[in-house]
Each structure stands twice: as C-alpha cells, then as structure tokens.
Amino acid sequence: MADSKPQVIAFYLPQFQPSPENDRWWGKGFTEWTLTAAATPLYPGHRQPRRPGELGYYDLRVAETRQAQADLASAHDIAGFCYYHYWSLGRRLLGRVLDEVRSTGLPDTPFCLNWANHPWNRKWNGRMDELLLDQEYSSDDAHVRRLCEVFADPRYLRVGDRPLFLFHWAHHLTDVRRTIELWRSEASRLGVGELYLCRVESVKDELGVDPRPLGFDASVGFQPTEASLPPRMNAQELGLDGSDQAALATNGLFRYEDLVDLAISRPRPAYPYHPVVAPGWDNSPRRPRGEASIFHGSHPLEYRRWLEHAVESQRREDPGLVFVNAWNEWSEGAYLEPDADFGRGFLQAHLGL
C-alpha cells in the first residue's frame, strides 16, 4: 500500500452552552467556562486559569462561533470533529450543537460521533456517590435508528462508505456483542450499509486487547488514562516549598514530555488501532477537592513530536486515522483552540505533516 496522509479528527465537547439539566444540577447558566474561569494555580508555574484566545469565552448556540471553529480546524489540517454524544434509554443530552449543524448544513465540516455512555454524577466536586443521571440501556434498536438518521448526513465521516462511530465506554454495555450485532443488522435494514465501529481504549482492561472478537472493527486510543501514565514528578523538582507541596498532596503531577515519550514507545498493537494525541492535560478545574492529574510543561513543540509519530504510524494503514483529545476540553487542559499563552501554537503544530 502506498503511503497516504492520515485524517486527523479532534474530539469536540458540546458543553459550552446552557442546558436544562446543567441549570438544575450546577446552577443557572452553567457551562464548561464556569469551571475553566474559576480555576486557581496550585503551585508556582501552574498554568491556571486557562484563558481563551481569539474565540473568547464563546457560546456554542451562536452559529458564527461554530463556523469560526470550523474555519480554524480546516486551515490547520484537521479533517473533522468527533462530537461527544450522550444518550441514555432514549434521553439525549447536549444535543443542540449537532441538531443545528444538521438542520442548517453549516459549518460544512465533516464529523462523526463518540458515545460517552457513562453515568452523570458530581465527580467534578468530589461527590461521585451522588448520581445525577444513570446510564441505562434498552434492548431495542431505538438508539441506532436515531443514529442512522445522522449517518445519512453527507458530511458524516466514513471509512470507505462505512459511517464511523465510537463507543467511549464499551465495557459499560450490558451485552457488547449483542449490541454490535443489533446495530449492524438495523443499519443494513435501513439502507445505511456496513458500519465502522471503534472501541475507545479508555480503561486498563481494554489496553492492548483486540476488540474484534467483540464485534468492533478497530480500537481508538485515549490519552491520558490511568492505564498508561508515566512516573509522577517529585514536587521538589519544581522547587516547591512545604505549603505548595501540601497543595499537590492529593493530586498527580507528571511531566508532559514523559507522557509523550511513553506514548511514542508503546508497541504498535497487532490489531487495527488508531492512535490519539493530546495537546495537554490538567483537569484540576474539575477536581477542586483533589485527585487531579496535571501534566506540567505541555508545549506545541513537544505536541508536534507526538503528533508526527502518530501520523507516521498511520501512513500505511487503511484507514489512516489519528484522533486528538481534544479540540476544546478547556477544563481538562486539553484543547487545540487558541489560548492566551500560545495563541494558535498547538494548531500550527499540525501544518506540514
């Protein structure tokens, strides 16, 4: 097979818009910016709070914002967005962005979906035991029937002629094999054809395990995860005094460079696999009570090194896909969008590959 340039697809979080559920659970007008703007540094040199650059503190209900995002992505060789999709027993959350993209036909940017099939709780403020919305599954085909309507969109990303869909928490499914069989059968019945279904390697038990016996076509990596972390940094390496070290006692501090090294050194799986890269990670805004993971020293040059390796690993693959975590995960410190520190630096790392 001749070398070809892989498609780079960025995960896209739609939680930059108010919603009835978030108004009820977190307070009127809550969006991802609420967490991002309220963040505070935990030690000298901790890059918090993160401040957006040219797009500002946007609202995804505004069509011009969605177009500006698409223009930036296209100008920096991002092939499309992978929208997080939330569905529990017929109930869909945070669906406005996708609905308006579909109904208006704008922006004209390719997209696919990643089903974030996890329960909603108060993990953000350290109260994981308080369930907000359980993740439930039905035994019928209502979900895939709804999805087939989305798959019919001419912008929907395909592998050949097969719609691309990701399961973020496949291990949560009640019966994985039956679900996959049902979805494939229903998609065929509705004229959508064969699906290209991927399991995201989001937990340790999935890392390095062939997904095909479960019915998937391939795996997609995810970074960072607890399943694959470099050694923690010693807070003394940053010259922190006692009070600063105490502030980090309940959080994990890592070097971003070490994460890149570890990801690059990982053996290539023997099964179909699409890697993921991350421009950074610091979820301390979501963990004000501790248990955050902070990757210190993320920089466009280090990110470029990781991205180059991922792209090269996919040049001879069919399909060649590289995922980015993420386009706009601001409260997790994982975003390509311009910020006040590096401007378009992380986006520009995508040029010329």
What is the per-residue pLDDT across 127-142, written as a single tens digit (0 to 9) for each? Answer: 556 776 667 777 668 8
Summarised one tens digit per residue, pLDDT across range 57-103 is: 999 999 999 999 999 999 999 999 999 999 887 888 899 999 999 99
Structure tokens at 149: 């309507």
> Whole-model pTM?
0.95
Q: CB count, 10 Å around CB of 249?
A: 8
Helix ranges, 76-191 (H): 96-104, 142-151, 176-189
> What is the second-level CATH architecture of the domain 7-348?
Alpha-Beta Barrel (3.20)
Percent with pLDDT over 70 in the chain? 94
CB atoms within 10 A of CB 8: 24
3-state helix, strand, coil in the chain (%, to 5): 35, 20, 45
The mean per-residue pLDDT over the stretch 203-226 comes to: 92
How is the chain split into domains, by residue range?
A: 7-348
Sequence-distant (6+) residues with CB within 8 A of 1 are 316, 318
Length reported for the chain: 353
**pLDDT tens digit sequence for 157-175:** 999 999 999 999 998 898 9
Handedness of CA 343, 345, 348, 350 (dihedral sign): negative
Give the C-alpha separation, 165 to 187, whole Å.
12
Rounded CA separation 226/202 (Å): 9
